[in-house]
Amino acid sequence: MKLEILAALNAEREARRAAVLVTEIATGKQRLVREADLASDPLAETLAERLRMGKSGMAETPAGDVFLTVQAPPVRIVVTGAVHISQALAPMARLLGHDLTIVDPRTAFATPERFPDAPVHAEWPDDVLPKLGVDRYTAFVALTHDPKIDDPGLIHALRSRCFYIGALGSRKTHAKRVERLTAAGFTDKDIARIHAPIGLPIGAISPAEIALSIMGEITAALRLKPASAAQAAA
């Protein structure tokens, strides 16, 4: 692999843009195809399909066998709420290779001391989320319990193609949330994208256990159905 190809691969990942590296097995010749340039590549159709599935693999072409290294951007988790559960989520995300970002306008909570593992934005979600660029490789998690903070985040997430949306709160809390979101113009189908109550049902009690159940649910959304509604619509 030429160093400039390796550097370009790393740069694309850093910029959260998908890319496919094509390696001709017989000759070792390689080219990097950025998502934006995909349509003009001779293997456009195959590359687009692999990218959609997010799967690297061999492919047969008229010119011989090629290996396609599919590089999707790393998963990012955006959390509203610099709370206990988030403090447990941050190191778990790091272990899993995901980028996690905390958003909470309450400056007493949103301090770097409480979150050594993750960037913290002490701002309102409606200001920060558009800047972060919530894409289809992003999971959004609402954990403040406070509609003033969670709702603007949820609204932004529902308008995005993010692959997972979860919101903390009891069934009763969620029922009220559904009423507010319906009043804000979202359909039942939109609102059904929200996992609530959040997390897999593992009987979680402590903040770390709840974080584990949330991370399990995010992993399931990522791995069990790569062609989720949001991605299929892409």
Nearer to another protein (CB atom), residue 57 or residue 112: 57
Q: At a CB cut-off of 8 Å and minimum separation 6, what does 180 contact?
A: 147, 151
Among 1, 202, 229, 232, binds another protein (CB under 8 A): 1
The side-by-side arrangement of strands in the sheet containing 19-24 is 30-34, 19-24, 64-71, 57-61
CA nearest to 18, candidates 77, 68, 79: 68
Q: Is 7 in the site for another protein (CB under 8 A)?
A: yes
Among 39, 64, 94, 133, binds another protein (CB under 8 A): 94
Nearer to another protein (CB atom), residue 29 or residue 148: 29
Nearer to another protein (CB atom), residue 66 or residue 162: 66
Among 39, 58, 63, 232, binds another protein (CB under 8 A): 58
End-to-end alpha-carbon separation of the chain, Å?
A: 31
CB 96, min distance to another protein, A: 8
Residue found under tokens 């919101």: 167
SS3 sequence of 19-69: EEEEEECCCCCEEEEEHHHHHHCCCHHHHHHHHHHCCCEEEEECCEEEEEE
Among 15, 37, 44, 57, binds another protein (CB under 8 A): 57
* Total residues at interface with another protein (CB under 8 A): 23
CB 170, min distance to another protein, A: 35
Among 28, 185, 201, 203, binds another protein (CB under 8 A): 28
Residue 74 one-letter amino acid:
P
Helices (H) and strands (E) in the chain, counts: 9, 10
The site for another protein (CB under 8 A) is made up of: 1-3, 6-7, 9-10, 13, 23, 25, 28, 55-58, 67, 69-71, 74, 94-95, 97
